[in-house]
Structure 1
Amino acid sequence: MGGYHSSFTTINSLGSIFPDSLWSSITLLGDTQVAIALLLFVVYVHPKLLSATIIAIIPTTLITHSMKAFFSMERPGSALPEGSFHLIGKLLHSNSFPSGHSATAGVIATFFLVIAKNTQQRLAIVCVLLLIMFSRVMVGAHWPIDVLVGGAIGLLCGLTCYKLAKHYHFCKSALSQWIAMIIPLYCVFTLPFHNGGYPQGHFEVTLIIAIALLFYLNQLRNQWLINKRY
């Protein structure tokens, strides 16, 4: 209602209240490699989420990149004078609409929402999703409308692909699940060498993913001990 650039300055200015390292860490959670690695917190108990993620990556990527190329909207770095807004990371110029990070975050948030046990957990997940989405405005990479549309694309693709994976029983066998696990494990072990464009938050995000890996390995260990006992 206020135009394509509406509310950018107001939201972006709020980013200077908190450290740049915080927004860098939050925005990296929307990076595809980081987002997939985060699934290690839940895939042991909910293996269908892994197949749904693999399926959802394709339409989400195709839709967002096609729209970016079609609309070819300028980012804040091109539309606004240099130094007139709060910038974290490198200055980006083109393909602003929609936000790819927000779409990825929307996909992963959908999967966490469908396995959430209560309203409190769902509210927490939505709050984290909104933080990741609007961190793209805080770092000066996107306009607010970019992140809203990107998040909506991610939520729709995530929900659709989860239903498909559940209906058609993708990765039902143990062998197929272990093969699919190659993807998140690859994301984990290559993360230290992955340049997400925000080095200030790289250590914190790597630490979170390391915890996710340890959490997953501990679940495997507990199951192995149970099997060994019986």
Structure 2
Amino acid sequence: MLDTLLTLDGGFLLWLQDLRTPILNAIFSFYTQLGNAGLVWIVLSVLLLLYPKTRKAGFWALIAMLFGLLFTNVLLKHLVARTRPWLVVEGLTALVDEHDPNSFPSGHTCAAFACCVTWARFAARRWVKVLCLILAALMGFSRLYVGVHFPSDVIAGCVVGCLCALLAWAVQRKAENVWRGRKA
């Protein structure tokens, strides 16, 4: 079963590699590197903290990303210890340097979904919700395009990120209930 998954994952990456163009290489390499250490999501969430209308979205996105960091980079990557695709898929070339040897799940994708799902939850306008999810999906796709993750890594990162956003939401509701109880 795992061999079949690895074959499908690797085959998809090789197919995607055949579609690369210089302009897309530059775009996706740049975008994926914005996600290094969750930097773009952290900066944008901190900026949201500056405005009262978006403060909750920024704060809870940071909490969701913290959960994602703990589950993905501290726990799962070390437990699974899956090798990066360019090391095991013959003919695959990575477009960016990746120093973490562990591939599963995608931390970039987890951070993007943890953050963007949280932002989407607080967004009042539907187009903002859609934009948040597109930004997260593009981060996951960028990890595939540059050849540093298997599709199953990105899917797992998406699932873990969404679960971390839900966990942050649950913590938020609990905290608000406690806060309301103390104010009364």
| TM-score of the two chains, using structure 2 as the length reference | 0.78
Letter in 2 for 1:73: R
Question: Aligned residues, how many?
Answer: 169
User: 2:15 matched to 1:18?
Assistant: no
Q: How does 1:137-176 map to 2 (within 5 A)?
A: 137-169=144-176
Letter aligned with residue 171 of structure 2: L
Instruction: State the Cα distance separating 1:40 from its structure 2 match.
Output: 4.5
Match of 1:36 among 36, 39, 42: 42
Residue 63 of structure 2 aligns with which residue?
55
> Which runs of no fewer than 5 residues in structure 1 stay unpaired?
173-230
Q: Aligned ranges for residues 2-151 of structure 1 at < 5 Å?
A: 3-6=5-8, 7-16=12-21, 18-31=23-36, 32-40=38-46, 42-43=48-49, 44=51, 45-65=53-73, 66-81=75-90, 84-90=91-97, 94-151=101-158
SS of 1:3's partner is: helix
Distance in 2, matches of 1:58 and 1:92, equals 21
- Identical-pair percentage: 25
In the alignment, the residues of structure 2 paired with residue 73 and residue 57 of structure 1 have an alpha-carbon distance, to the nearest angstrom, of 22
Distance 1:123 1:52, change over 3 A: closer
Contact 1:13 1:86 in 2 (8 A): no
RMSD: 2.6
Bigger helix share? 2
Q: TM-score, normalised by structure 1?
A: 0.64
Q: Is the 8 A contact 2:42 2:62 kept in 1?
A: no
Q: Distance in 2 between matches of 1:8 and 1:103?
A: 20
- Secondary structure of the residue aligned to 2:165 is helix
Identify the structure with bigger relative contact order (alpha carbons < 8 Å, sequence gap 6+).
Answer: 1
- Aligned partner letter, 1:140: G
Relative to structure 1, the CA distance from residue 92 to residue 144 in structure 2 (aligned partners, 3 Å threshold; closer, same or farther) is: farther
The separation in 1 between residues aligned to 2:100 and 2:56, in whole angstroms, is 38
Shift of 1:157: 0.4
Between structure 1 and structure 2, the one with the greater Rg is 1
Is the contact between residue 75 and residue 92 of structure 1 (CA under 8 Å) also seen in structure 2?
no
CA distance, structure 2, for counterparts of residue 162 and residue 29 of structure 1: 25
